[in-house]
Amino acid sequence: MSRKPTHLKQRWRHGASYLFLGVVGVGMLIPLLWMIVTSLRSPDSDIMDYSSLFPAPQPTLAQRDVRSPELLVRALVKEGRANPSSQAGRIWSRLGEKDREELATMAKTGGELDFFQAEALLEILNVLLGDPELYSPKVFPYPTLPADAQAILRDADAVGDACSRDKLAQLSKEDLGRLNRRLFETVFPERIAPAGSVTLENYKVVLTETNFGRALFNSVLVTVCVTFGQLVTSSLAAFAFARLTFFGRDKIFLAYLATMMIPVSVTMIPTFILLRHLGWIDTYAALILPAAFTVYGTFLLRQFFMGLPVELEEAAVLDGCGTLRIYWHVALPLSKPAMAALAILTIMGSWRTFMWPLIVAQTPEHFTLPVALTKFQGIFGTEWTFLMAGGVIMIVPMLLIFFFGQRFFVSGLRVGAVKG
């Protein structure tokens, strides 16, 4: 047998292995990367347009500048008077004398979107839509105004201005903000970042203008409490099962283990009813307590405690240690790796748990991250940039925990498995 062909064959096989691993790896990474990229795109960029994904960032409008129409009016009056050749100036010159007066008064007085403000906004819209030169896709990256604005204007022609004014005033905060933003960007094209540039705005909006920040806090609180509870209760019980002798120990343990196969759907209905009777629905207690006990964790720690050397314990007894002190001063310090493994598994499980919080957390005050993220679908609809930013916020802590606790992670997984 000559050596060379084997060598060559081996190299081929190696190459094929790397190719396969690389392809699978890229396949795993692409969706995650796309999530991050989407979360960094401007919320109003054309989601289909990737041509200008990473141009140099320019000063962008702050989201809060856009939420109130009054700022737009103020800027339009100022810029329109000062600089007639700008886009704002051209719009200003096309407005009627009366509208200009009204806008000028409005810019001085400010306040909520009232009758007159609505009318002024409508006027601006009219001017924009009536003049293709001002509203050309070349100047402005968006092909059309938002559908709701167009609908309002269509109605303005058919039913008269008063009706559409009411409609404008009745727009939800989000819709008004969106409409206003489009207007702002049309009037001041030089002040917006080009579509598709990288921006952290999604994160800012998600964290400040929704209850996501609160949900983040809730998730951290619930996860910490659940993890702490599980560590305490299961290490105590595991110590008893592994290290103490008492009546019917192994039978009780077996019965205990057997409950692991009970599906969650069986226990969740009565638990919900119980908590409802206690008046605990929509409280932290409902989120934390049912999750603070674990059979799996008890099993995992028991396996570990069983492997601890008996001599240490005997020595501690000779020194006059009671059972509690042996647990605290001997068993626990020795089982740090197992406790860490259980902690990591619990943190990751608790962080992503969805069904139970969905059932018992009924107001935004007690939403955890997964629930809040789900409710986003209702608020943001298909505004994927916000949704993806929320998703990234949810994922990052898990990645950190994983990378810092990696070595405990695998050992935790293996305890529950058959010895291969």
Partner 1 sequence: MMGRQRNLVAFGFLTPNFIGFLVFVFLPVLAAIGLSFFRWDIFHAPEFVGLENYSNLLGGYWEDGTFQWNDPHFWKYLWNTLFLMIGIPVSMALSLFLAIVLNQQIRARNLFRAIFYLPTICAGIALLLLWKFMFNEEFGLINRALAWIGVRGPGWLTSYHWAKPSLMIVSLWTHMGGSSMILYLAGLQCIPPELYEAASIDGAGAWKKFTAITFPLLSPTTFFIFITSVIRGFQGGFESAYIMTEGGPNGATTTIGYYIYNHAFQWFNMGYASTIAMVLFVIILTVTLINWRYGGRKVEYV
Q: Which residues, numbered 181-240, are part of the site for partner 1 (CB under 8 A)?
A: 232-234, 236-237, 239-240
Q: Which of 106, 389 has the CB closer to partner 1?
A: 389
Q: Closest approach of Cβ 263 to partner 1, in Å?
A: 5
Binding status of residue 404 toward partner 1 by CB under 8 A: no
Contact 239, 305 (CB under 8 A): yes
Instruction: Say how many Å lie between the first and final Cα of the chain, rounded.
Output: 36
Maximal CA-CA distance, the chain = 99
d(CA 46, CA 135): 17
Binding status of residue 254 toward partner 1 by CB under 8 A: no
What is the sign, positive or negative, of the torsion defined by CA atoms of 72, 156, 45, 67? Answer: positive
Binding status of residue 288 toward partner 1 by CB under 8 A: no
Binding status of residue 115 toward partner 1 by CB under 8 A: no
Q: Closest approach of Cβ 142 to partner 1, in Å?
A: 16
Angle at 183 between CA 73 and CA 36, to 5 degrees: 125
d(CA 186, CA 75): 13
Contact 164, 122 (CB under 8 A): yes
| Position among 23, 200, 224, 244 found at the interface with partner 1 (CB under 8 A) | 244
Q: Closest approach of Cβ 259 to partner 1, in Å?
A: 5
Which parts of 45-104 interact with partner 1 (CB under 8 A)? 47-48
Q: Closest approach of Cβ 9 to partner 1, in Å?
A: 10
Q: Which of 208, 377 has the CB closer to partner 1?
A: 377
| Position among 351, 361, 366, 408 found at the interface with partner 1 (CB under 8 A) | 351
Binding status of residue 281 toward partner 1 by CB under 8 A: no
Q: Closest approach of Cβ 392 to partner 1, in Å?
A: 8
Which parts of 27-46 interact with partner 1 (CB under 8 A)? 27-32, 34-35, 38
Sequential DSSP letters for 49-109: --TTSSPPP-----HHHHH-HHHHHHHHHHHHHH-TTSHHHHHHHHS-HHHHHHHHHHHHH
Q: Closest approach of Cβ 385 to partner 1, in Å?
A: 10
